[in-house]
Amino acid sequence: MSNPLVVIVSFTAEPGQEHRLRTELDAVVEPTRAEQGCISYQPYLHPNDPGRVIVVEEWTDDTTFERHIALPRSERIAALGIFAEPITIRKFTGGTTGSRPGNR
């Protein structure tokens, strides 16, 4: 089995748009979790900045993630026009670095 793809997507809403961002993201949680290839999908709110949200996603591979972001609901969120900063997408795989906690 190949390593899953972990994706961290960061959103920063413009002032006054925080609630709309959270509402839009909440609306896609369950449909996204039901997508083929989605292992997990979880939004997290910044504890001190209500306009900052990250979504930590895990996909079976890059192909399933790319299929996800091409869906109309993903494209709709990207096109909301409520962001103070560009949306960032960071991808990680489960490879090893050769060290683990406790092993030096």
Tell me the mean pLDDT in the region 6-11.
98
Segment (H or E) for 52 = strand 52-59
| Other beta carbons within 10 Å of 63 | 11
The mean pLDDT value of the chain amounts to 92
pLDDT digits (tens, 9 = 90+) for 18-60: 999 999 999 999 999 999 999 999 999 999 999 999 999 999 9
User: Cα(97)–Cα(53) distance, rounded to whole angstroms?
Assistant: 28
User: Cα(103)–Cα(51) distance, rounded to whole angstroms?
Assistant: 39
Q: What is the pLDDT of residue 45?
A: 96
Provide the residue type at 61 as one letter: D
Q: What is the pLDDT of residue 66?
A: 97
Q: What is the pLDDT of residue 38?
A: 98
pLDDT digits (tens, 9 = 90+) for 70-99: 999 999 999 999 999 999 999 999 766 554
Place of tokens 């490879």: 95
